[in-house]
Each structure stands twice: as structure tokens, then as C-alpha cells.
A and B are shown apart, each in its own frame.
Chain A
């Protein structure tokens, strides 16, 4: 273990010398669900620049919104509408000497393995499960046991209100993002019949307006959650429906929260989690002190509580494990029911799966001929399609890998 010398008061300059040859990538972006990730990104860029990292790439597909300004401190009101990556990079370069930050305005998925291979490590302040799964699977796939340089540590952070977590993933060596997917709270959807006939909560009224009423009224127009006119329409419909059923509590803010799945975000929590991520990056890069093994949760609602623990690698992880996962299946289910159950599994989380076994194509999302050919299978019972303990391979446009499930008839 290397430690700091007592004479060095300006630690930053020392660290700077030891890592100026390294390149670092900071990936931060927004996907379908926003959870205030740009807030982590701003902090991470500042922290890396002031810790002596010299060459940083930043990826973000988002533009600046007025609701970012309460925490994304590299942006001002006049920046609203501009790409986050570009504005953040030039702000930090103007403030901190001798650092090069290369912005990319786009999705992390736009870049290939060759691109990611040039970096020393990757830090994520992502806000979507999908993007995290993608980068995780990509970095695991890049590992070549004969080339130690191909192993890129992945440091991941996330926040919600006064809580957050940071973790260090050494692809193939430690638990990966996919190994911990079951830690996410499953999305509990309200049954459509409740929305359609017996709403009880203000959120039921909002979901009725966005899920059922919007497509009915505007057949060809997609609901845009960022369009204030669309949100206003949903709000008014929801309010009207709430009045009809004597339900109180529908507000504009609630409407927005429900349809955009808004997660509260504040500067201070972002600061804690981003600094923790960068602290680990610093420890990995300099070898000064052991780095996090491998997960820290920070909970600030009631006092301050941290839980630091080793999340265990899963042998049957579809990304970094070697075994297929067992999945209990009722032989009487139709293939369609089976797919619906898959979608409900927190450790699976797929939207448009294509399923095959060694001996047959079960269901293809596309191309059209294959979809047409396999569509009748949806109605068939599982016992007529697969055997007990047979392996099904599942691919999904959201996943950069295929999932293997062992069918266990119950």
C-alpha cells in the first residue's frame, strides 16, 4: 500500500504527477427515466479535474432544463437548451488549469468497445437501468484474460432524495451491475381495470389520463412528457376525472411526478455520492489506500447512516456468471403468459424479448416474416414448446447480451 508523504501539503499536485498519462472517461447520460444524473456528472467532472486527472471524456445525451439548476452547478439560466456535456466540459476547463475534457453529446451506446478500450476507468452517474446494464455488459465483455489492460474498473453512483449509493465493479472479478439487479424495487403497475373503472388515488387519475385517455383521443400523436401543453392536457383530464370520483389531491406537480417518474434530487446528496465515486477512482488510480469493496449506501433521512458491504457475485449472473438461471414455469402457461411473467421479474427487466431454444424459434420480434411465423406460438402452452430443464436464450434490444434461463416446470 502506497501512502502520501508527510511533506506534501498539496496532495493534488502529487496525484497529478502519478496519473497524467491516464485517460479517464466519465459517462453520464439520461435515458428513459430521469433520476438527476446530470447532477452527479457535474460533481464528478469537477472532482476529477481537481484531483489531477488530465484527460477526461464526458458523454451525455441530454440538454439543460431549468429544473437542473437547483443542483447542476456548472449550468446557468442562459445555458438552458444547450447540451450538458459541452457546457460542463468548457466550464470546468475554464476554471481548472491543465485539464482536457472531451465532450460527446449523445448516448453511451453510440460508442464501441474500441472507444472504451482507451480509458483507464469508467465512472457512471447514469439515471437509467438500461444504460447501466449496457455499459456494465460492454465492460464485462471487453475483458480478455491475457490482457490485464482490458479490465476497466466501473464506478457507479446513484441518488434519490437524501439517499444514494456508490459502488466499484471490477468486470468479471467482482459482483457486476447485473448481479445486483434484484436489489431494485420492482415496478408495481396498477391494474388497468383499476385505472379504467375504479380509481381511488390521484395517481390513478393521472395514469388513466396518460395511459388510456391520451391514446384514445390522440391516436397518432405520442405523449411527450417534456411538452408543457401535453402535461397540461393530462393534468386537466386527470383533475376532471378526480372530481368525477370525489378524489382529492390531483395537482400539476403530482401529474408531472407520475408521468415523468420524477425522483427528488438535491445538490448535497449528489456531492456525497459523486465524491465517493471519485474518491474510489483516486484510490484505484494512485494505489494510495485500498478501494471500496464494493458497495456503499448512504442514508441521510434520519441521522447519517452508511452501510458498506461486499455485494456478492452471482454464479448464474447472465453477464458475468457461467450458469443459466433457473426459472420456475407452470407448464400450463401460454408462451405469452410466460413472457408477461418475465417482464415482471426485477432481475430480468425486458421489454421486447426474442426467445429461442436449441431446437426451435419460440418468438421473434422481427423481422416481419419471422415475427409472423412465430406469432402463433404465443397462444401455445409452454409444455408443448419446451421440455423441463430446457434452456431458453432471450435477447432484447435493450440488452447487449443474451439471457439464459433454465425452464423448471412446477
Chain B
């Protein structure tokens, strides 16, 4: 993105994208603008997804579709108009979607997935493809889904009547910025020497009354609560054989110890900084622990043996792991500190202490990264990105790694994890409100389409009852295959009927809703920020609910 003029006022691009830059920043925006998205199927749902990606400015899009625009399309798809009738859907949708944002390059291809896979496979070959992400609109026969390359993220979407579902497959997805509510880590139980010394110095006359040469009331009421806690923790340790207040009852005692030291003869009768200190006891006083997400990343096999092929994320992760290994299992400090009652100068001095520690921790991690890269002659060893390392360190306790099950594994009848998830959901205490039945019915729809080349309940076919019986048979077979011991759940039957009734048709509101859900997930995958689902989300427009499953 263009840099801001020196006056600080925003560039025209920053103005246009202001409301989203506040969510994912220049970093996320740059990733978005490098994406080239292929849409297979210019359905109402597909066009709605693309709309929500073109508006925030992906780099490019290509609409792939081999149908001609029919009257039926105009009833549900906002990105086809009267003039489009009889013309190629791909061409018209690309044109009307392209109008949404002149910053995005759009194109189309009158083609379909099956013919691309057999006639022009280079278009989807990871070594030659231009596409970074694939949007696949149902219906698509299962064997075609199984031929897609494992290197490119795919988003497979069903949108039938009031029901919609999204299945994501992506290569291992790692996230640094999940945007937690707070990055604050005060290290009150593990202060580093400079912080302890600073606290000691600033609180030496804290408990001495002003009349006896101690601290004045004004200063006393403006000592940042972090320093109060550090000081009283030292006092506590002295009277508790060096132990910290760890249990709930100890913390309660510790709170009253702080309250006892508060000066009450001041205007208002209480000191805000003491109140803040007491309020922080339960939440902020804890031993630093690794989050489960960070543990998964640091224990990932990718971290274990660094080679010249290893991605920078994993090299930094390994460096952070080594850093923690020689730092009493403490991660690099985030450096974030909340606002608190204090004088400007005292607050800024404390903040600088946290920031300086975060900076020196990140510098230590950078040295380890450099060391690894030099050792394995990594091609990027001369372009180490300091900002990226600092960002990683700041978020090091919020890392995520998502491993997606392949679609082949989901559709093979022998994947134990898949079976476990479905059986678990069917045996859940609140199975009556579960959307697992929707998954099972949609899966049967998928198999029906693969076998018959048409949707169940399609208008061109008269016998809906026959179609329903076929769907029912497929469901029973699947349930038997995964070892479900009971008869067909009533709710499965109900949803199956709903799906046959939809006849493969889209409702505009459902398409629009799916367009929103899918686009949010695509954005999370592209920007590598926030946490996308793993791996399926279903929305039921009748109950107005969603549920996610790792299928």
C-alpha cells in the first residue's frame, strides 16, 4: 500500500479501506491484495462470496462457469441482469462483479472443473497455477473434489433452501495474529531483575506515613498498581517462607493485605490505584503458562528439524522454543501493559521497562533465528524480517496451527477420526438441536448428485418420493458404515425431506448469508489473522443457528 504523506493524513486507499484496515492492518491488506481467487460456479451463492471479497480488494478473481444465463438465475442472482439472458454466466457475472471495485482485476473462463482437470490440468497444478484459493460451489461430483491439489486452500459450499454449509481444506494453516482481547502479560509472579529493582525503588517509602517522612498522599495515590502488587508480593513472600499467593484463599488474604495498606484519609476515602491492584489479584497473579495453541506449534514436527526448506514461521517458532528453554520456560514478553491510575511520567517509565524487555527478548530470538538460518544456509538468511520476529514474539502465547483433514479422508469410510466426530455428535446429550443431521443429509445429497448427475427433487424429474427414498437409503448406508447402531434418526429424515424439497435450488437470502460466512473464512485464511473454522460449518436458516464440526 502507498505510504502516508508526511502530514499524517491518510492516502486515498487508506480512506477507502479504513473500516477494514482497523481489523487486519496493512499486513492483512497486502496479503489480500496478493490473492487470486477462482470461483467455480457462478451461482447466486458464489457471486455473493466473491462480492464480499472484491469489495475489500482481493488482487484478482476468475469466474469459471459453462452455463448460459436463464430466467431462473435472475430471480436469485443479483450479479446477473436482464441483458445477461442467454449469454455466458461466467462472462456476465465477472462483468457485474467487476464493477464493484476498480482496484480488483477480474476475468472469466467458460469452462468447468471436470474439463479443466482433464484438458488443461496446468491451470490447477500447484507448480503452474495462478490461483491462490479455490471457491467451489455445489453441485460438484465427489471424484472431482478428490482430484484437487493438496497445496491450494479450497472452500466447498452447499446452499440449498434454508441450509448452507462450508467445508475448508487448506495445507497446514498457522496464525500469529488471532486478535485476542488483550496481549497483556505483566509477569508479576516472574518479574525480571530490572522490573523488581524498579518496583523496589519506587515503593521504598510507600508504607511510611507522610508525617514520618514517607511518601506524600498525591504520589501514594499515583503509584501504578503493577508496582503496588510487586511490592506487596515481596512483603507476602517474606512472611510466607518465600511462597507466592497461589490459591484462591491465599489470594483473598493477599487482597485484604493490600486493602489494609491503602490510605483512607484522602479525598474520596479510597485510592484508585489500590482498588485497581485488588481487582487485578485474581486475574493477573498467575504463573506464566503456555497456551494450548502455542504448545501445539512449539511441539509440531516442523519445529524439530530445521532445514534450508523450512518456512520462516517454523524457524521463528523453533527459536522461541529454544529461547523459552533457556529462560525458565518463559516466552518472549509481549510488552503490552493496560492503562492504570498513574502520573504520566511514572506510567511511561514503567511502560518503557516492559517495552525494553520485549525488545531485548525479541532480539534474543532474532539471534537464534539468524543462527539457524546460517547453519542450514537458508535462502532467506540475508533478509531476516525484524518486524516479523517482533510480531511473532509479541503474540507468542497466542499462536495457532490448524491441520485440515483431507476431503478424501472425510469421504473414505474408514477414517476413524471422522467416524468418531459424527458418532460423538449423534450420541451427544443435546443431539436434538445438533446440526449433525444436516451434515449427514448434505453428504447424502452429495452422493446422490455424484451418482445421478442431478439434484434430488430437481424440477425436471417428477418423482420426488423416489428421490427421497434414495437419499434415505444413502443415509442408512452411511450410518451403518460408520457403525451407528440405531435406526435412522427422525431429524435426519426431516432434513433430508427439506433438501429434496429444495430441489437443488438456491434461496437468495441463504445465498447471501452463505456469501458472508464463506467470505469471512476466506479472509481469515488469506490474511492469516483471526481463526478460521476447522473444517465444516453448517447454518440452518430455520433455527437460525450454526455449528462447526471437524469432519
Contacts and interface: CB of A to CB of B under 8 A. Distances in A.
A47 B514 CA distance: 13
A187 interface: no
A275 B511 CA distance: 9
Contacts of A251: 8
A256 to B, nearest CB: 8
Contacts of B543: 308
Interface stretch (A18-26, A278-286, A377-385): A278-286
A70 B512 contact: no
B533 interface: yes
A24 to B, nearest CB: 14
B121 interface: no
Contacts of B75: 10, 12-13, 50
Interface stretch (B275-283, B294-302, B339-347): B339-347
B7 interface: yes
A54 interface: no
Contact of A279 (B10, B502, B510, B537): B510
Nearest to B81: A95
B18 A12 contact: no
Contact of A252 (B8, B347, B509): B8
Nearest to B455: A9
Nearest to B222: A198
B356 interface: no
Contact of B500 (A6, A252, A300, A301): A6
A301 B530 CA distance: 6
Given A264-B22, A264-B23, A275-B512, A296 B519 contact: no
A269 interface: yes
B386 interface: no
B513 A10 contact: no
Most buried by B among A10, A47, A246, A274: A10
Contact of B544 (A199, A303, A308): A308
B273 interface: no
B56 A70 contact: yes
A95 B82 CA distance: 8
Given A232-B9, A251-B8, A303-B548, A289 B520 contact: no
Contacts of B520: 162, 266, 268-269, 272, 300, 304
Given A6-B464, A200-B342, A274-B512, A73 B51 contact: yes
A70 B501 CA distance: 37
A75 to B, nearest CB: 10
A46 interface: yes
B517 interface: yes
B533 A51 contact: no
Contacts of B10: 252-253
A367 interface: no
Given A9-B503, A300-B520, A306-B546, A46 B16 contact: no
Most buried by A among B81, B344, B530, B533: B344
A5 B464 CA distance: 10
Contacts of B544: 166, 276, 279-280, 292, 296, 306, 308
A302 B530 contact: yes
Contacts of A2: none
Interface string A181-206: 00000000000000000111100000
Contacts of A95: 78, 81
Contact of B533 (A198, A289, A304): A304
Contacts of B234: none
Chain B interface: which size bin?
A: 35 or more
Interface string A217-248: 00000000000100010011001000001110
B51 A267 contact: yes
A257 interface: yes
A96 B78 contact: yes
Interface string B511-548: 01101110111011000001111100100011111101
Contacts of B464: 6-7
B48 interface: yes
A10 B505 contact: yes
Contacts of A274: 512
Contacts of A369: none
B332 interface: no
A46 B464 CA distance: 32
B432 to A, nearest CB: 14
A272 B12 contact: no
B1 interface: no
A236 B9 CA distance: 10
A306 B545 contact: yes
A11 interface: yes
Nearest to B4: A252
Interface string B156-182: 000001100000000000000011000
Contacts of B533: 303-304
Interface string B6-49: 01111010111111111100000000000000000000000010
A97 B82 contact: yes
Nearest to B506: A11
B423 interface: no
Contacts of B530: 162, 300-302
B56 A267 contact: yes
Contacts of B9: 228, 232, 235, 252
Nearest to A301: B530
A73 B19 CA distance: 14
B16 A71 contact: no
B516 A268 contact: yes
A232 B4 CA distance: 14
Counting from the closest, the 5 A-B pairs by CB-CB distance are A271-B516, A272-B516, A275-B513, A268-B519, A50-B508
27 contacts: A47-B512, A51-B509, A69-B55, A70-B19, A70-B20, A70-B55, A96-B78, A198-B347, A251-B8, A252-B10, A262-B18, A265-B20, A266-B20, A267-B55, A268-B520, A269-B520, A278-B509, A279-B509, A279-B541, A289-B162, A296-B545, A300-B520, A301-B178, A302-B178, A302-B531, A304-B517, A304-B521
